[in-house]
């Protein structure tokens, strides 16, 4: 399955509930995926993005140190599924060289918030399964989507069959098509 690469677009607090939310955006900035997370996880993601180091290792630092001590590297983070409004994520580890296509050595089940924090700390890609975007994402740019839909509708309303030709065919009056 082809996964869609995402990036952290924003971290914030939802006004009504006070819940922390991380908004992932696709690289084309067309889709946004809000993921509600705990306040400590939102802070960890924010610190990782800004490269803020705590005086003592955080839980994510401890996990990364453990991964490194076992001879592994974080290859990528994948958000693979959604079950009953709960996102399922994986931390994919490898023993291969950076950028290699080696099969993953270990795949760890993770909360998306932890996976996102690890991705930001390691500067590795973050991927989301397409069916999750279809089910749970919103348009990141509704005005552009409306303009694109209007342009397509205008095209459909004005297109004629004669606007298209087939390569190798000459259907001009008085000529016969090539055989």
pLDDT of residue 155: 63
Indicate the length of the chain as a whole number. Answer: 179
pLDDT of residue 160: 64
pLDDT of residue 85: 86
pLDDT of residue 18: 80
Closest CA to 4 of 57, 74, 54, 78: 78
Task: Give the DSSP H/E element, type plus range, for residue 47.
Answer: helix 39-50
pLDDT of residue 148: 61
Determine the Cα–Cα distance for residues 109 and 9; give it in Å rounded to an integer.
Answer: 24
* Each residue's pLDDT tens digit, 27-78: 998 899 999 998 889 999 999 999 998 889 889 999 999 999 999 999 999 9
Contact 24, 10 (CB under 8 A): no
Half-sphere exposure of 136 (CA within 13 A, CB side): 21
Low-confidence ranges of the chain (pLDDT < 70): 96-102, 104, 142-152, 154-156, 159-179
Contact 9, 137 (CB under 8 A): no
pLDDT of residue 53: 87
Determine the Cα–Cα distance for residues 11 and 13; give it in Å rounded to an integer.
Answer: 7
Global pTM value:
0.75
- Considering only the top CATH level, what class is 4-154? alpha beta
Determine the Cα–Cα distance for residues 126 and 147; give it in Å rounded to an integer.
Answer: 29
Share of the chain above pLDDT 70, in %: 74
């Amino acid at each position: 399955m082809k996964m869609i690469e995402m990036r952290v677009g924003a971290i914030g607090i939802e006004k009504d509930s006070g819940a922390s939310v991380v908004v992932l955006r696709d690289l084309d900035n067309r889709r946004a995926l809000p993921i509600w997370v705990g306040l400590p996880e939102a802070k960890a993601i924010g610190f990782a993005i800004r490269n803020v180091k705590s005086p003592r290792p955080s839980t994510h630092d401890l996990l990364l140190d453990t991964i490194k001590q076992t001879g592994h590297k974080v290859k990528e983070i994948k958000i693979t599924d959604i079950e009953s409004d709960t996102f399922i994520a994986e931390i994919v580890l490898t023993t291969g060289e950076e950028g290699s296509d080696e099969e993953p050595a270990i795949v760890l089940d993770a909360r998306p918030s932890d996976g996102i924090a690890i991705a930001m700390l390691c500067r590795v890609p973050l991927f989301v399964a397409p069916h999750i975007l279809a089910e749970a994402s919103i348009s990141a740019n509704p005005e552009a989507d409306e303009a694109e839909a209007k342009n397509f509708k205008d095209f459909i309303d004005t297109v004629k069959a004669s606007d298209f030709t087939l390569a190798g065919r000459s259907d001009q009056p008085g000529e016969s098509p090539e055989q």
